[in-house]
Amino acid sequence: MDIKEMDKVTPMREKSSCLLDSYSRRAFLGKAGAGAFLAGASGLLSPDLLGADVVPDPGTYQPLDLAKKVRIGVVGGGFGASFQWHLHPNCIVQAVSDLRTDRRNKLMKVYKCDRSYESLEKLVLDEEIDAVAVFTGVPDHARHCIAVMNTGKHVICAVAACFTLDEAEQLREVKERTGLKYMMAETSYYRLYTIAARDLYNQGAFGELFYSEVEYYHPVDEAFRRRYWYYNGKPTWRYGYPPMHYPTHSTGFLVGVTKERLTEVSCLGLCAPEMEGYGTGRNQYDNPFNTGVALMKTDRGHICRCNKVNAGTNAGERAQWFGTKMSFFMPSYVSGQPFRMHGPQAPKWTKLPDYLQRLPKPMRVKTGHGNSHTFLTHEFIAAIVEDREPAIDIYESLAMTVPGIIAHQSALKGGEQLPVPSFDRAMS
Ligand SMILES: NC(=O)c1ccc[n+]([C@@H]2O[C@H](COP(=O)([O-])OP(=O)(O)OC[C@H]3O[C@@H](n4cnc5c(N)ncnc54)[C@H](O)[C@@H]3O)[C@@H](O)[C@H]2O)c1
């Protein structure tokens, strides 16, 4: 769910040549040879990370084959109008769609595209489209992504991947049957601080990362409800939406850094203050909560405290990660917590590396949600051009989404600890 002020906060499982892994590998190989990267992976820090006031080389963009173009269709002219498909050298915006005329027009203007359709259902029939960006409401995501893949097109979808466990199963089945690319546009994955944490994790800087606190605070006040809960006087999908069914901006900070899986969850829910729209029979989800606070266990025996809070006076998406060798604190403009890395061997960076260098030149622009939008745009296009799985593939997406679905069930049972089913690829 969008929240403009959050932007103020911030200025590898299969054929995993995924963008960042390959970038960090290249940066290390370039500086110190293969040995340094491998040493980093086994727990020895590269000399690059140890020096005072050193900001490591972020790595540079390796141009893709410009002869290969991805013709994309963009659906959903709210949040879906804030990506950079038109700036990517390997992408052509072939068509756009929204049920609403005003939003169709907006998409056509933003993406400089003169072909539009009245619905996703019509757009997917266009044989000149290779891939579709689905930015519709969460309860429609699985249905829409399945419709896209069933017409032979790759798909990138806004979070969360799905609303139910049945949908998770169907999504995985269609993706595996068709072999098309599926990616979830999880913004926390490419926040610049998350990129730093992931690179450091992959280089062994954390030691054992045994505990994390991941959180997303989004006050749903009167003004927000008036703006987003109704359209033409009718409730939208956001009306009374259960917070833990939107967990990925929190869970993404752990799954997106370590790739571990959340296997058990105990969650408490509440509604504070008493608020219109929450409670049994008061919304289409029968959801009583605007706040969810969960304790989760991982497949590596680690602990994660995961919050999704739609009330109160905090705002922002952030994490703090605790390892045996160092801890890493993302900043919070509300609490005043500065960016900090702590521990005897923690890097002494004065600022983040300039990760925008990893993008094609026209994409090095300021974007929303911690500057993640250009990275998401590029990763999806690059995965198609290079014919590899995207970094946030179907398995990572479901590993970020499903624990929240179970957390909500746990909260409805007063915090009972429940197992989280795995939707990973079955090992052959
Ligand atoms: N940080 C983030 O990752 C982030 C931020 C904001 C929103 N989102 C997600 O992005 C998605 C879109 O958010 P939003 O705020 O724009 O929501 P929204 O409900 O305002 O917009 C969804 C749009 O999809 C259109 N739509 C629905 N069904 C359609 C169909 N069959 N064909 C064509 N158009 C259709 C609607 O008309 C609407 O304009 C949501 O899933 C939301 O959760 C993510």
Instruction: State pLDDT tens for residues 244-295.
Output: 999 999 999 999 999 999 999 999 999 988 888 998 889 999 999 999 999 9
Nearest residue CA, atom 1 of ligand 1?
Answer: 187
How much is the pLDDT for 164? Answer: 98
> Mean pLDDT throughout 8-34?
32
Residue 163 has pLDDT above 60, yes or no: yes
Counting from 1 in the atom list of ligand 1, the atom nearest the Cα of 97 is 33
Q: What predicted TM-score, i.e. pTM, was given to this entire model?
A: 0.90
Nearest residue CA, atom 27 of ligand 1?
Answer: 136
Position with higher pLDDT, 157 vs 19? 157
Instruction: State pLDDT tens for residues 78-127.
Output: 999 999 999 999 999 999 999 999 999 999 999 999 999 999 999 999 99
Counting from 1 in the atom list of ligand 1, the atom nearest the Cα of 120 is 32
> Mean pLDDT throughout 194-201?
97
412 and 278 in contact (C-beta within 8 Å)?
no
How much is the pLDDT for 53? Answer: 61
188 and 212 in contact (C-beta within 8 Å)?
no
How much is the pLDDT for 108? Answer: 98
Residue 133 CA, ligand 1 centroid: distance in Å: 11
Instruction: State pLDDT tens for residues 297-355.
Output: 999 999 999 999 999 889 999 999 999 999 999 999 999 999 999 998 899 887 899 99
What are 242's strand-pairing partners? none
Q: List own/partner pairs for 8-11 with CB under 8 A and 24 or more apart.
A: 8/333, 9/316, 9/317, 9/318, 9/330, 9/331, 9/332, 9/333, 9/370, 10/191, 10/192, 10/193, 10/330, 10/331, 10/370, 10/371, 11/192, 11/371
Nearest residue CA, atom 38 of ligand 1?
Answer: 76
Whether ligand 1 lies within 6 angstroms of the CB of 100 is answered as yes
